[in-house]
Amino acid sequence: MDNSSEGKANSIEEVVNVAEFEAIAKRKLPKMAYDFYASGAEDQWTLRHNKIAFSRIRLRPRVLVDVSKVDMSTSVLGFKVPMPIMVAPTALHKLAHPEGELATARAASSVGTIMVLSFSSSYNLEEVAGASSGLKFFQLYVYNDRKIAESLVVRAENAGFKAIVLTGDTPRLGRREADIKNRFTLPPNVTLKNLEGLMSVELDESKGSGLEAYASNTMDRSLSWKDIGWLKSITQLPILVKGVLTGEDASLAINAGASGIIVSNHGARQLDGVLPTIVALEEVVNAVQGRIPVYLDGGVRRGTDIFKAFALGAQAVLVGRPVIYGLASDGQAGVEKVLKLLSDELELVMSLCGCCSVDDIKPSHIDRASDFFSSRL
Ligand SMILES: Cc1cc2nc3c(=O)[nH]c(=O)nc-3n(C[C@H](O)[C@H](O)[C@H](O)COP(=O)(O)O)c2cc1C
Ligand SMILES: CCCCCCC(=O)C(=O)O
């Protein structure tokens, strides 16, 4: 990726873009933690292309538009937010910072946006709910023991979470070779805190990634579209399906009663070789035909990326690694800075493209005849 200022900042004060947080985080974190956060599956082709694909889309700005007022606000599942950028669910924030998900929740709340808390968080969902008054959704994995999901969904609803994000792309964990080499395991002060009292969490790293071995024993590989009905029978909350990359699955999600879709390849950590999300987005949006909202994550690092996702039909984006790197760099303040940088950049690109609201961002603001669209990659 051509990111000329990537990695140049020596301190938080010097950071001028989101990508620069990664180098600071890398310096601060133990190798095992940094590699866990940074890596993708296998050859990491999709990891690279999640970003490259954004850079291949050109913008078509409109000029001499009155942009003296630019409003980035939108609504997500009926909740008004000042910017269309959410915190994606990512595991184990305590590996990045002692205040972990508590700091992330406070940061999301202070900028007014939504945090999706990972099932695999290192503070439990009640602790995170109590950390800030901001809007939160809960991401769900379903284990072989379905009572665990049932218990967590009820707890999330009682704690005030406003939606369940069902991750559909993880019947097994992808092959993350850095974690295999590092024999990934958890330090004594970090665990999957939501599971305390429900099951013991022990990672066996003797043959490779302890997390992969653990997931392989616990994840319910039989989970399928019919289980959305089961999920709807245990919660009143809207359900977003995360991990959709095809029009076929988008239609199945709608038929199953999903309230929204997150186009995601899990930050390229599951199946290497799948389409970059910004490329998959158009097919999903075409299949959905406006019936439910479509959100996107994967490789979003610039306001221009967010703008391009909107031009292709996304109604909000989520960011994963940048939030973790901000957290590792400077706790709550670091996450706030990441979210603020992205929203400032979005406001600028909207102004420079002649868009006063996110609804003004249209397909005509991007160049559909570029090499990106003729070759798709
Ligand atoms: C370290 C890490 C942990 C993740 N943990 C989860 C998780 O627990 N549940 C989930 O649905 N997705 C998880 N994801 C995927 C993110 O929700 C999101 O799809 C991805 O990070 C977006 O790509 P980006 O990191 O390029 O922004 C994780 C991603 C990373 C990098
Ligand atoms: C439930 C155990 C597996 C946690 C995996 C977290 C995750 O999704 C990731 O990408 O890492």
The domain locations on the chain are: 12-375
Nearest alpha carbon, ligand 1 atom 28: 90
Give yes or no: 266 in active site. yes
Question: Phi and psi (nearest 5°) for 18?
Answer: -60, -35
Residues above pLDDT 70, as percent of the chain = 95
User: Can you give the pLDDT at residue 228?
Assistant: 98
Length of the chain: 377
- 103, two tokens: 């700091």
pLDDT, residue 8, reads: 76
Q: Tens digits of per-residue pLDDT, 358-372?
A: 999 999 999 966 555
Ligand 1: list residues with CB < 6 Å.
36-37, 50, 88-91, 118-120, 139, 167, 242, 264, 266-267, 269, 297-300, 319-321
**Res 4 pLDDT > 90:** no
| CATH assignment of 12-375, among 2.102.10.10, 3.40.50.150, 3.20.20.70, 3.90.740.10 | 3.20.20.70
For a substitution probing ligand 1, which of 266, 278, 297, 306 has the most ligand atoms within 8 Å of its CB? 266
Q: Which residues line ligand 2 (CB under 6 A)?
A: 91, 120, 141, 173, 211, 214-215, 266, 269
Of 49, 93, 97, 266, which one is the catalytic site residue?
Answer: 266
Check: CB of residue 103 under 8 Å from CB of residue 332: yes
Q: pLDDT per residue over 207-265, tens digit each? A: 999 999 999 999 999 999 999 999 999 999 999 999 999 999 999 999 999 999 999 99
CB atoms closer than 10 angstroms to residue 83? 23
Spatial contact of 40 and 46, defined as CB atoms under 8 Å apart = yes
Q: List the alpha helices (DSSP H) in 124-246.
A: 125-131, 146-159, 177-182, 210-218, 227-234
Mean pLDDT (the chain) is 96
pLDDT for the residue 73: 98
Q: Is the dihedral of CA 187, 190, 191, 197 positive or negative?
A: positive
Cα–Cα distance between 252 and 309 in angstroms, integer? 22
Element holding 253 (H helix, E strand): helix 247-256
Asked whether residue 81 carries a pLDDT value surpassing 80, the answer given is yes
The per-residue pLDDT for range 321-365, each reduced to its tens digit, is 999 999 999 999 999 999 999 999 999 999 999 999 999 999 999
Each residue's pLDDT tens digit, 109-163: 999 999 999 999 999 999 999 999 999 999 999 999 999 999 999 999 999 999 9
Contact of 285 with 247, CB cutoff 8 Å: no
Other CB atoms within 10 A of residue 159 CB: 17
> Given this model, what pLDDT does residue 9 score?
82
Contact 317, 306 (CB under 8 A): yes
HSE-up (13 A, CA, CB side) for residue 141 = 25
Interatomic CA distance for residues 112 and 127, integer angstroms: 19
What is the reported pLDDT for 3? Answer: 45
Ligand found nearest the CA of 265:
1
Query: Residues forming the annotated binding site for glyoxylate?
Result: 141, 167, 176, 266, 269
Ligand 2 centroid, distance to 173 Cα (angstroms):
7
What ranges make up the beta strands (E) of the chain?
74-76, 79-81, 85-87, 115-117, 136-140, 164-167, 239-244, 260-263, 294-297, 317-319
Residue with tokens 């669910």: 89
Q: What pLDDT, on a 0 to 100 scale, did the predictor assign at position 12?
A: 86
Question: Does residue 6 carry a pLDDT above 60?
Answer: no
Q: Let me know: does 295 contact 318? Beta carbons within 8 Å.
A: yes
* Comparison of pLDDT for 10 and 295, the residue scoring more: 295
**Cα distances (angstroms) measured from residue 264 to each of 75, 100, 199, 224, 333:** 20, 23, 29, 17, 27
179-209 b/e (C-beta count within 10 Å ≥ 16 → b) = beebebbbeeebbbbbbeeeeeeebebeebb
Over its C-alpha atoms, the chain yields an Rg (Å, rounded) of 19
pLDDT at 376: 57
Per DSSP, the three-state class of 216 is: helix
Residue whose CA lies nearest to ligand 2 atom number 7: 91
Residue 280: which pLDDT band, with cuts at 50, 70 and 90?
very high
ipTM of the complex: 0.99
